[in-house]
Amino acid sequence: MTNSLFDLSGKVALVTGTSRGLGQYLARALASAGADIAMTSRDKQSLSAFADEIHAAGRQTFSVDLDVRDENSIRSAVASIEGHFGHIDILVNNAGCNIRKPALDVTWEDWNTVLDTNLRGSFFVAQAVASGMIRRGYGRIINIGSVTSVAGYAGLGPYGASRGGTRQLTMSLADDWGKHGVTVNCLAPGWFRTRQNEVMYKNEAWVEYLTDRIPVKRPGRPDDLDGAIVFLASESSRYVTGQTLLVDGGISTGATKATL
């Protein structure tokens, strides 16, 4: 095996939702492997510091406004990126949101906000990017899912529905586009500390409970995703498509402490 299997030099990666959190870590990992980065936010001014960081690491960047709940915004952003770089080789569908509520308290608007962002947005961004990939006969699409793609948790009804849908969408698009040289996979993190769930990690009892349920006995660190994202974006995964790669410390095994 050679390093060329994981080399992204000359590739352009579009990572949505890069103003904070895991989006920045994923983009940073791809840049470290050699990719130039197209980054998005609903306010591209919020990306300036991160763009400077990627530039300092020797990679090219391009920042665009993108609201994944707006079809015109999606098409305009993709067209701008293709106009700037000439092509998009890798898409990381990372932009997402969550609203945590007991199921009886979820409103119609809560549901629409989460599903429109996480599921509908991912589909239409993938659709917009895939047309160029198909013309060139090459592409890597990575939809960001979650351990909730395969497991249910109380208080996460809309979010779990969106992430379960992301897994199913991934398989459908893989079947659609595989013959064109485009692979589509789902990267599904487990419990990682982000700005979205920061409040939960302030509860020491909850963190202890969570850690006990994870076979490797700790929540995820953002750099735990580096190898997985580069693998799915690179030549090393050329025969992998339609799959969900769980990076969750084993929590999806359903294992609990044994009582003998």
pTM, to two decimals: 0.93
The CATH code belonging to domain 3-194+221-247 is 3.40.50.720
Residue 159 falls in the annotated catalytic set: yes
Residue 130, phi then psi, degrees to nearest 5 = -65, -30
pLDDT at 2: 52
pLDDT at 92: 98
Q: How far is CA 45 from CA 20, 58, 93, in A?
A: 13, 21, 20
pLDDT along the chain (260 residues), means of 10: 82 95 94 97 92 95 97 97 98 94 96 97 98 98 91 87 96 98 96 70 77 86 93 97 92 62
The residue annotated as part of the active site, out of 25, 138, 153, 159, is 159
Cβ atoms < 10 Å from Cβ of 155? 14
pLDDT at 257: 56
Residue 49, phi then psi, degrees to nearest 5 = -65, -40
pLDDT at 198: 64
pLDDT at 220: 85
Residue 245, phi then psi, degrees to nearest 5 = -100, 110
User: Distance between CA 57 and CA 136 in Å, rounded?
Assistant: 28
pLDDT at 260: 35
pLDDT at 197: 65
Segments making up each domain of the chain, as ranges? 3-194+221-247
User: Distance between CA 192 and CA 155 in Å, rounded?
Assistant: 17
